[in-house]
């Protein structure tokens, strides 16, 4: 019965062009907690109304037909509607109430920020050490330091001899399968920074590479100050 009266009044209003609720309104809360009892009243003592709630929910209207009482355990946005006639004019009143809070979707995890772009060869080396190769870093650092020392003393006098020395040493100290991507990238880095340089410049780059490798040893020691943890 309530729904049919409301629909009829909507049709009448649409045909006659009456404006909704200018002289009377609905007084009540605009928000409420789940389970809270809410009371909505017509603001005019002269008006009575047929009531409805959208979406449809259970409610109580007192005998005066000027008050609606509503409570629900379901959170959501509800519209309280009252259809009345005042001074011979049909009026449809509405009042919005946010009941409880809508469940929010699980937030999307924030992506991890990219590591800062390396500005030195040492930083590049430290950032690109393979996880499953960290046990080898000390031995590889020794290879680069040893070759750099030989170049500085003049024992190794050409770039080709320096490259051969590193290749021979590293192949005996670490798995090529684990380190191949690292060494491919390292070759690009060294060539870019060396340019037309000679053994003196290459020796300096090899010192930076050794420092980058040893930085991982330092980090591992800081994580395990007792010295009993295995190198990561």
Please name which of 41, 45, 95 lies closest in space to residue 67, comparing C-alpha atoms. Answer: 41
* Domain boundaries, given as residue ranges, for the chain: 2-99, 121-223
Residue 85: pLDDT over 50 = yes
Higher pLDDT, 131 or 10: 131
Average pLDDT over residues 134-150: 94
Average pLDDT over residues 135-144: 94
Residue 225: pLDDT over 70 = no
Instruction: Quick: pLDDT tens for 108-123.
Output: 677 777 777 888 999 9
Range from 20-24, 39-43, 145-149, 184-188 carrying the lowest mean pLDDT: 20-24
How do 38-42 and 49-54 pair as beta strands? unpaired
Range from 14-23, 31-40, 139-148, 207-216 carrying the lowest mean pLDDT: 14-23
Homologous superfamily of the 2-99 domain (CATH):
Immunoglobulins (2.60.40.10)
């Amino acid at each position: 019965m309530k729904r049919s009266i409301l629909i009829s009044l909507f049709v009448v209003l649409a045909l006659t062009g009456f404006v909704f609720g200018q002289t009377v309104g609905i007084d009540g809360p605009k928000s409420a907690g789940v389970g809270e009892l809410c009371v909505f009243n017509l603001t005019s003592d002269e008006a009575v109304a047929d009531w409805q709630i959208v979406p449809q929910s259970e409610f109580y209207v007192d005998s005066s037909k000027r008050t609606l009482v509503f409570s629900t355990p379901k959170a959501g946005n509800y519209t309280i509607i009252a259809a009345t006639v005042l001074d011979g004019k049909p009026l449809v009143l509405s009042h919005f109430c946010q009941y409880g809070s809508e469940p929010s979707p699980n937030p999307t995890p924030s992506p991890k920020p990219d590591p800062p772009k390396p500005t030195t060869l040492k930083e590049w080396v430290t950032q690109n050490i393979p996880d499953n190769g960290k046990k080898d870093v000390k031995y590889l650092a020794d290879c680069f330091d040893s070759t750099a020392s030989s170049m500085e003393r003049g024992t190794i006098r050409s770039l080709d001899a320096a490259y051969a020395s590193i290749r021979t040493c590293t192949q005996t100290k670490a798995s090529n399968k684990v380190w191949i991507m690292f060494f491919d990238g390292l070759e690009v880095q060294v060539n870019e920074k060396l340019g037309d340089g000679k053994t003196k410049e290459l020796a300096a780059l090899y010192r930076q590479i050794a420092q980058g490798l040893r930085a991982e040893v330092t980090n591992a020691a800081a994580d395990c100050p007792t010295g009993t943890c295995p190198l990561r």
